[in-house]
Structure 1
Amino acid sequence: MSENVTAQLAELICHSQPDDLARNKARTGLLDFTAVALPLLRDEILDSGWQKLKKLYPQQNSETRALLLGYAGHALDFDDFHADFRGHVGTVVLPALLALAAERQVTAAAFLDAWIIGVETAGRLGLAISQRHYERGFHNTATLGTLAATAAAARLLKVTTSQATVALGIAATSASGLRAQFGSAIKPLHAGLAARSAVMALRLAQADFGGQASGVIEAFLAACGGESSDASLLLHNWGQPWRIVTPGLEFKPYATCSGTHSAADAALKLRQRWLEEGRQPHEFLTAIAHIEVAFPPGGDTAASVREPRSGIEARFSLEYVIASALLHGELTLADFAEGELDADTARLAAKVRRCPDESAPPDAINPSARFHQVALCFADRPAWRCRVTRQQSIATPPNLSTKLRSCLPSASAEEQQKIEQLCQLREDDALSQLLSLFIKPAA
Structure 2
Amino acid sequence: MDTSLTAELAQRLLTDTPTEQERAAARRGIKDYLASTLPVLFAVVPDEGRSAVLATFDAASSAENRAVVLGYLSHALDYDDYHAAFRGHPSTVILSSLFALCQHFDRYTPTDFLDAYIIGVEIAGRLGRAMGTRHYSMGLHSTATLGPLAAAAACCRWLRLEQTQTQIALGMAATQSSGLRAQFGSAVKPLHAGLAARSAVNSVLLAKAGFPGQVDTVVESFLTVFGFNVEQPGLLLDEWATPWRIIQPGLEFKRYPTCGGTHSAAEAAFVLRQSCLEQGIGDICQAVTRIEVSFPPGADTAPNIRMPRDGVEARFSLEYVIADGLLNGCLALDHYTAKPVNEVIAALAARVTRCPDHSAPADELDPDRRFHRVTLHLSDGRQLSHCVTRRETVSLYTDVEQKLAMSLALLPVSLAAQFSATTSLDNSEQLRQLTSLLCI
Q: TM-score range by the shorter chain?
A: over 0.9
Q: CA deviation at 1:48?
A: 2.1
CA distance in structure 1 between the aligned counterparts of 2:426 and 2:394, rounded to whole angstroms: 28
Letter of the 1:363 counterpart: D
| Structure 1: tracts of 5 or more residues without a match | none
SS at match of 1:354: strand
CA contact (8 A) 1:31 1:420 kept: no
The 3 A distance-change label for structure 1 pair 52 and 127 is: same
Q: What does residue range 175-194 of structure 1 map to in structure 2 within 5 Å?
A: 175-194=177-196
Q: CA deviation at 1:57?
A: 1.2
Partner of 1:144: 146
CA distance in structure 2 between the aligned counterparts of 1:371 and 1:209, rounded to whole angstroms: 48
CA distance in structure 2 between the aligned counterparts of 1:145 and 1:195, rounded to whole angstroms: 7
TM-score by length of 1: 0.96
Q: CA deviation at 1:420?
A: 4.6
Does 2:287 align with 1:303?
no
CA distance in structure 2 between the aligned counterparts of 1:395 and 1:418, rounded to whole angstroms: 33
Q: What does residue range 351-366 of structure 1 map to in structure 2 within 5 Å?
A: 351-366=351-366
Partner of 1:274: 276
Q: CA deviation at 1:97?
A: 0.1
Q: CA deviation at 1:37?
A: 0.6
CA distance in structure 2 between the aligned counterparts of 1:420 and 1:353, rounded to whole angstroms: 44
CA contact (8 A) 1:6 1:165 kept: yes
CA contact (8 A) 1:172 1:220 kept: yes
Does 2:398 align with 1:398?
yes
CA distance in structure 2 between the aligned counterparts of 1:245 and 1:420, rounded to whole angstroms: 25
CA contact (8 A) 1:250 1:397 kept: no
Q: CA deviation at 1:436?
A: 1.9
**1:153-180 Cα deviation digits (max 9, x unpaired):** 0000000010000000000000100000
**1:285-321 Cα deviation digits (max 9, x unpaired):** 1211110001111111111111111111110000000
CA contact (8 A) 2:83 2:89 kept: yes
CA distance in structure 2 between the aligned counterparts of 1:216 and 1:332, rounded to whole angstroms: 44
Aligned residue pairs, count:
438
SS at match of 2:353: strand
Q: CA deviation at 1:429?
A: 1.4
Q: CA deviation at 1:401?
A: 2.3
CA distance in structure 2 between the aligned counterparts of 1:198 and 1:265, rounded to whole angstroms: 36
CA contact (8 A) 2:80 2:89 kept: yes
Letter of the 2:355 counterpart: C
Does 2:5 align with 1:5?
yes
Letter of the 2:330 counterpart: E
Partner of 2:163: 161
Q: CA deviation at 1:39?
A: 1.2
**1:378-425 Cα deviation digits (max 9, x unpaired):** 121321000001111121222122212332333477865763552221
| Structure 2: tracts of 5 or more residues without a match | none
Does 2:124 align with 1:122?
yes
Partner of 1:213: 215
The 3 A distance-change label for structure 1 pair 161 and 48 is: same
SS at match of 1:250: coil
Q: CA deviation at 1:7?
A: 0.9
Partner of 1:345: 345
RMSD of the TM alignment (CA)?
Answer: 1.4
Percent of pairs with identical residues:
48
TM-score by length of 2: 0.97
SS at match of 2:228: helix
Between 1:373-382 and 1:66-75, the stretch displaced more is 373-382
CA distance in structure 1 between the aligned counterparts of 2:161 and 2:339, rounded to whole angstroms: 46
Partner of 2:66: 65
SS at match of 2:146: helix
